[in-house]
Chains A and B, each alone.
Chain A
Amino acid sequence: MADLKINFAGIETPNPFWLASAPPTNTGDQVMRAFDAGWGGAVWKTLGDPIVNVSSRYSSVDMGQSRMMGLNNIELITDRPVEVNLREMREVKRRYPKHTVIASLMVESKRDIWHEMVKRAEDTGCDGLELNFGCPHGMSERGMGSAVGQVPEYACQITEWVKEVAKTPVIVKLTPNITDIVYPARAAKKGGADAVSLINTINSITGVDLDTFTPRPDVGGRSAHGGFCGPAVKPIALNMLAAVVQDKEVRLPVSGIGGISNWRDAAEFILLGASTVQVCTAVMHYGFRIVEDMIDGLSNYLDEKGFRSVRELVGRSLPSVSRWEELDLNYKVIARVDQDKCIGCGLCYIACNDGAHQSIAAEAAHGRTKVSIIEDTCVGCNLCSLVCPVDGCISMIRVDEGRPPLTWKEYSQDPKAHPHLGPANGH
């Protein structure tokens, strides 16, 4: 069995699966049950001056019959007193010394208040600190959370204050509600952070009740934007992760967050450079028990691929993440339909005809729709293979036209030299 232990910014952790700072890590009891279930670490629900929450806090987006494809919340940081949280944190660390406990912090933007909070948190024996510069609702209106994360100078300043007194590794949690996440990541680096975690939730309104006309969640006839998370945000998180990891200035370990529900999602974050992952929505949906398959599935995958440790997987996909202008314009694929597998639903036909490049022909045959690819005009866009409901029925086949790789930069220097790519060729 592959080794899942990993060192994250100096913290030795039993496996890369951590709980994100959120409702599942609200109490010591929850965190201990999570560790019993197999979670390697937990980022405690953010500590700060106790707040008051509203009732009616979550709303979601369903997809067909699948519930909670995306989850939105307007819950704030912990509403329990700091000393209670710290006492429980100390107790958890005493009982589970090998598991990772990270204190998430968010206080008023004053140097002495941050110093005080860092010292109190570290006094529990926690393994590290996560600075919550990402919470997009409620706290941001009080000058905290994403109000800090959205201004690189503030993020840098507070990170510096924390680093003045911190003895454990400092992770800065980044907000995605910004034009380019690389800038606050660089600011964290400049302020001395030991790592970053991303993404926090995305500003969202999940929907509107068509009978009451009030957006969800309905708080007595009003609603406010919340933070969006869950499977729907994973592609956004993966892109931001790759951008931060590939930046030459940042060069910090990253804890990946955003829609991770199973080991496959986790493996993708790790392949794009995350060395730990944090999970919230999937646990809010199904409970701590999901980690069993995450551990089992990841280790089986590593074994099958011949990796001895999860460390060998970190960042392995990064070399293939490139800019568009570096892609090979001469690489060509076209669709191929396996007629034996085709069930004749016609979805590829209508998708191509109305939504793409009119390169599938259809005819009625035995009460079904029989399709065929018009290879001369097929641009290899993949759409038909994406809509096809039958596994392995439509494949995208490489067509080797014997041309050497050609980037946009090379092409644009002399377009006439590449007539096969011209508009007259149907492109």
Chain B
Amino acid sequence: MNPFAELKPALALDEALEEASRCLYCYDAPCTRACPTHIDVPAFIKKIGSGNLRGSAATILSANVLGASCARVCPTEVLCEGACVLNDLHHKPIKIGQLQRHATDWAMSHGMRPFVAGTKQPGSVGILGAGPAGLACAAELLRLGIEAVIYEASERPGGLNTTGVAEYKMTPEFSLREIAWLVEAGVEVRYGSEVGITVPLGELESKHDFVFVGVGLGSIAPLGISGDRLDGVVDALAFIEELKMERSRARVGKRVAIVGGGNTAIDAVTQAQRLGAEEVHLIYRRGPEEMPAYHHEVELAKQASCRFHFLVNPSRVVGEGQVSGLELQRMRLGEPDRSGRRTPEPIDGETFVLPVDMVIAATGQKARALLDILPGVKLDRGKVLVDERTMQTSNPRYYAGGDCVSGGQEVVNAVAEGKRAATQMAAQLQQLQRQARKA
């Protein structure tokens, strides 16, 4: 059996029809409100039930052009499915994610377009980054008839949606296939185009009326402790990327410690276990209540026989050339910090060494260096500051969305932000046109 097989496989036609028939067709539905892109969930499910799959897919894609990805990677348990009224009635919400996949899979395999480009309007937008935010922004602009060019620094589109999603949720092949589908519909991506290096900032600003920044975040910061460069200390995102992109090269230790309490840490746990690790330890400096990972993700880690170590913080990586252990400092919780969570404090003299041969850091990503060169775009602790209603930055010509603004959220949030920015830029362009005509 493939250890990376999908946790939530495609529904067969009769399964989909039965599930669709359970939907109550709520009015002003909670699932739709809970979705950052506000997909009209009851409408698309009703259409599955009536056999109108084309219409169902159109309902989804008009709200969220990456609806096929989101059907697979969204934490539906805390979004649409978590909001489903049937949780209150008999504790079994509608499988909204899987129904969304049913409709969007149909669309992709029946020659349907993800969107239709609108009548050409004046104006052009340069988009930095071909991740979910940039792709959604481009698709929305094209739908509104506005030229959009995506500048992607790497040679591969999709960002973390391609390389950073746990394999049992979505494969990189699927992410790339979905993007190819958008490209067929008109999305233009220029690869190897790094602003400030291969694409001068001046050129970008002269070619485009607006710039959308959707560059995401960089690699995970080193642990910053003695021994953090030893062989066997890796970045969780690099670990997951290698596993997804070059499975045959991917290696995992026998005893693995994963440092961090977020969803990326959980992904590293489950992927390390599936790759063959005998012991997987999760190291988190606060307690179980403070973990930022979703409850349903933590359950997956428990199913993967993960051993949780709470209130401990790595103080030293032990080993000579190669990792042989991780020294952990016991912690206690002090006063709440800015985020409202209680700050962990070390307990003097209480350390111990966990014998491991691999340490995976999942402790938060660094900001992209590129952000520092964008003129007049203000940052706050490495995140781009925007007006959340418009996604406009402190430089009116620059908009931004996705992880470089949020510090790391879901694909669906990035899509919503990219789309919101596109709508705003389009409105601005229209206004500029009107002003030009008057003058």
Contact = CB atoms under 8 A, between A and B. Distances in A.
Q: Do A and B bind each other?
A: yes
Interface of A: 64-65, 343-347, 349-350, 362, 364, 367-369, 389-390
A369 B26 contact: yes
B21 A347 contact: no
Interface in B18-39: 18, 21, 24-30, 33-34
B89 interface: yes
A343 B85 contact: yes
A415 to B, nearest CB: 38
B333 interface: no
Given A367-B83, A389-B89, A65 B21 contact: yes
B17 interface: yes
B337 interface: no
Given A367-B30, A368-B85, A389-B89, A345 B24 contact: yes
B353 to A, nearest CB: 47
A365 to B, nearest CB: 11
B387 interface: no
Given A65-B21, A346-B28, 19 more contacts: A65-B18, A343-B85, A343-B89, A344-B85, A344-B88, A345-B24, A346-B26, A346-B27, A346-B29, A347-B24, A347-B25, A349-B27, A364-B28, A367-B30, A368-B85, A369-B26, A369-B30, A389-B24, A390-B89
Contact of B27 (A64, A343, A369, A389): A369
A64 B21 contact: yes
Contacts of B30: 344, 367-369
Interface residues of B, number: 18
A149 B83 CA distance: 57
Contacts, number: 45
Interface in B51-97: 83, 85-86, 88-89
Interface of A is mostly: loop
Nearest to A346: B27
A347 B27 contact: yes
A147 B27 CA distance: 49
A149 B214 CA distance: 77
Nearest to B49: A64
Contacts of B86: 343
Contact of A345 (B26, B34, B49): B26
A64 B23 CA distance: 11
Contacts of A364: 28, 33
Interface centre among A345, A367, A389, A390 (most CB of B within 10 A): A345
12 contacts: A64-B21, A343-B85, A344-B26, A344-B30, A345-B29, A345-B85, A346-B26, A362-B27, A367-B83, A368-B85, A369-B26, A389-B24
A346 B17 CA distance: 23
A345 B27 contact: yes
Contacts of A368: 30, 85
Contacts of A347: 24-27
A345 B22 CA distance: 13
Interface centre among A349, A364, A368 (most CB of B within 10 A): A368
Nearest to B27: A346
A149 B139 CA distance: 67
A349 B17 CA distance: 26
4 tightest Cβ-Cβ pairs between the two chains A and B:
A346-B27, A350-B27, A343-B85, A64-B21
Contacts of A64: 21, 49
Contacts of B21: 64-65
Contacts of A65: 17-18, 21
A383 to B, nearest CB: 14
B145 to A, nearest CB: 34
A363 to B, nearest CB: 10
A64 B25 CA distance: 13
Interface centre among B26, B27, B33 (most CB of A within 10 A): B27
Contacts of B89: 343, 389-390
Nearest to A364: B28
Interface centre among B21, B49, B85, B86 (most CB of A within 10 A): B85
A199 B296 CA distance: 55
A367 B83 CA distance: 8
A345 B27 CA distance: 6
